[in-house]
Amino acid sequence: MSITEIIQKAKKGDEPSFTYLLNTYWKDVFRFILSKANDENEAEDLTIITFAKAFDKIASYDENYEFKTWLLSIANNLHIDQFRKQKTETISINKTESEVYRVKDEEPSPVDKLIIEQNLAQLLSYIKQLKPHYQEMINMRFFQEMSYKEMAKELNEPMSNIKVKLLRAKKLLAEIITKEDS
């Protein structure tokens, strides 16, 4: 099957096609970002975001251009955005001595506990609106507190797939929450 046919299937929502594209182009995108960022963690995060953004916008991909070039332009734009954000961050150093030694009580009040329980019930109802494999990703990561490595072993998938799928699950969950709350 040609890459064009795989992209066409991905445009129709075919999960194995997304996995194939991810596995085929992961190293190229990662190396490209790593050459610019010089930080493996940042490169990995930006690679994940690149694929998530590309998969969300795959319908806009123009087959007159090479898919790898399209991915690398997304990666480059994300790196530029990340660089701009880092340049504009400011940190206040105007803390007085009394602020530094003030200790906050971290224990939630009974009212806070009730609100947390209600919010958890609401969150679980939102999660149930996701497809089962995305529910599983959210459950494993945030409720069972599994690492990416543990999830990859449990699901018998590469860690890069786990990260992109989890990012996709979080994005879909955020869209459900936004839609329900508006």
Domains 3-88 and 108-181 share a fold: no
Given 2.60.40.10, 1.10.1740.10, 3.90.180.10, 2.30.30.30, which CATH number is that of 3-88?
A: 1.10.1740.10
pLDDT in tens, 68-87: 999 999 999 998 888 777 76
CB atoms within 10 A of CB 171: 15
**pLDDT tens by residue, 102-113:** 555 566 666 666
Domain ranges in the chain are 3-88, 108-181
Q: State the pTM of this model.
A: 0.60
Q: Contact, 123 vs 162, CB < 8 A?
A: no
**Domain 108-181: which topology?**
Arc Repressor Mutant, subunit A (1.10.10)
Q: Tens of pLDDT along 105-138?
A: 566 666 666 677 777 788 888 889 998 988 999 9
Distances from the Cα of 109 to the Cα of 105, 115, 116, 122, 167, angstroms: 10, 10, 10, 20, 32
Reported as a single tens digit per residue, the pLDDT across 16-44 is: 898 899 989 999 999 999 998 888 888 88
